[in-house]
Chains A and B, each alone.
Chain A
Amino acid sequence: MTITDFSVILPVTLLTAWASILLLAELFLPRAQRPFLALLAALGLALTLGISLAQSAQEFAPGFGGMVVRDGFSNFLNVLFLLTGLFGVALSYRYNQRAQIERGEYYPLLLFSVAGMMLMGQAADLIVVFLALELLSFPLYILSAFAYPRPQSEEAGLKYFLLGAFASGFVVYGIALTFGASGSTDLARIVASVAAGSANLPLLTAGAGLLLVGFGFKVAAVPFHMWTPDVYQGAPTSVTAFMAAGAKTAGFAALLRVFGAAFPALAADLSPLMAILAAVTMLFGNLIAVAQTDMKRMLAYSSIAQAGYLLMAFAPFEIEAARTMAVAGALFYLLAYTLASFGSWGVVIALEKDLDRHLSIGDFAGLARRSPWLAAAMTVFMLSLTGLPPTLGLVGKIYLFRAVIEGGMVWLAVIGALTSVVSAFYYLRIVVNMFMREGEPAVEREWWLEFAIGAAAVVTVVVSLWPFPLFEWAEWAVMKLF
């Protein structure tokens, strides 16, 4: 082991160590000082973010004998995951006090999960991919059930766990077949053995298919989505917000890394499958979302639909030029989705005064009069999720659609555009409720929460006006991937 090995995984190591220290710190903090833990967690995330940004200028470097890498792709995702963690802490801070789930283990578990996500972004070996998947999921199972003895929360935890464990069974079997087909679990060596023609292609395709099923559960793609609404509804809202953004991004990170880098040879077999998966996910998610009246379930189906748009990025893999653009577009869209998703869940938290009652769409009525800034921010997030100007969502969708069209799959882009129109119906219904209807919504005023919501909204609008540096970063990030 050399210094480079450790410098490659320095952010992950730091965060893991910080989480462990936090776990100990909780023992010595008196109960009244518990809120201090949130601050410490945020400090750890910010510190790691600083290191990640400082490392972002450095060159591609493999570590631990090719188990992990540091490249543009992992840097981009590290920053995204750390922002996810920071948002997660900001949204949890007061909510957890209100929900009386302020247990000392909350923030350490959150940090462990972020560390797992970051490891996923850096993984270059299927063994590490599997471990990172488990490391990011375990804390989420526990956090989903964190609001015990509230029964919905416990159910959410068990349900998420059972389906997650089921999915990991597929992942392990898929890795085993891939290992058998290519003689290695190292992504680079798998690619090499495919290129050399020494790999057993039918076996490799079967392995890739099983991996796809496993990750399909994680990103909540149809038909592996059925856990999503119940888990999102039942878990504490602060956890749901974190999970909706972080787990999905990490799932896509794994898909992009594994399928983007290691299976170009299978693109001919897999890309029609991916296109169909994307189309079905977009159609199903959006159509079911229209029928929802419960806010959390609506957002859950919306997150399924968003997974469909992201899956479009895998459709044009057969064409070299479209591939890079598609993956860069996916990274860009992930950022836009993270901001909008966190923002809208943050608004849900702000409105969720009575934790035992489910928040319905009607509860947004009159928000514009009661709290105009919150309503304005929510409008931005809804526009971004729909893909309307002036938001990052629009820019992301344009990039994705362009890549799909360049990949020769116009029909998929048409489905994407049509389902976006459908989605406008349920997203904008909330905007209509906020501005046009009368009502007396109960709003919690929390400084950290409002700051997070405001920041997400401002970035969503401002960056969309001049998105080119961000897109250049995303393109640079994927350059080394192929």
Chain B
Amino acid sequence: MIPLSWYLYLSAALFAIGLYGVLARKNAIAILLGIELMLNAANINLVAFWRYTDPAQMAGQVFAIIVFAVAAAEVAVGLSLVISIYRARKTVIADELDLMKW
């Protein structure tokens, strides 16, 4: 079987790429895509931990499913905010919204 740590490295790599995407991109939709990648990386962790520690305990899988649902809800709210701004401003570039003054 593949060692657990390989899954963890993979998920950490994806999380880092998503994180970089959130910090580096300026477009609100691109930022949201980065966030989705981060959530997905966390899910790989959850399922891998579930499989390798105690598969009779379903917590990992259940949480992964819940993260799916929450991510879907999050995207619905986020994209309607994006559309709402776009209608008024014709832009969703975060910088033009004066957003992300780090």
What is the interface of chain A, defined by CB distance below 8 A to chain B?
127, 130-131, 134, 138, 141-142, 145, 148-149, 151, 154-155, 157-159, 161-162, 165-166, 168-170, 172-173, 175-177, 179-180, 183-185, 226, 230
Contact = CB atoms under 8 A, between A and B. Distances in A.
Contacts of B100: 159, 162, 226
B58 to A, nearest CB: 11
Interface string B70-83: 10011001100110
A130 B74 CA distance: 13
Q: Which of A130, A180, A230 has the most CB of B within 10 A?
A: A180
B42 A158 contact: no
A162 B99 contact: yes
Q: DSSP majority for the A interface?
A: helix
B102 to A, nearest CB: 6
Given A154-B88, A179-B63, 18 more contacts: A127-B59, A130-B70, A149-B87, A151-B88, A155-B85, A158-B78, A158-B81, A158-B99, A159-B100, A162-B28, A162-B94, A166-B31, A169-B15, A176-B49, A179-B49, A180-B45, A226-B100, A230-B101
B59 A184 contact: yes
Interface in B37-51: 38-39, 41-43, 45-46, 48-49
Interface residues of B, number: 46
Interface of B: 8, 15, 18-19, 22, 28, 31-32, 35, 38-39, 41-43, 45-46, 48-49, 53-54, 57, 59-60, 62-63, 66-67, 70, 73-74, 77-78, 81-82, 84-85, 87-89, 94, 97-102
B35 A166 contact: yes
Contact of A173 (B42, B84, B94, B102): B42
Contacts of B74: 134, 138, 165, 168
A145 B86 CA distance: 13
Contacts of B15: 169, 173
A151 B89 contact: yes
Q: Which of A145, A169, A173 has the most CB of B within 10 A?
A: A169
Q: Which of A158, A161, A166, A177 has the most CB of B within 10 A?
A: A158
A165 B78 contact: yes
A168 to B, nearest CB: 7
Contacts of B88: 148-149, 151, 154
A24 to B, nearest CB: 21
B81 A185 contact: no
A142 B74 CA distance: 11
Nearest to B82: A158
Contacts of B73: 134, 138
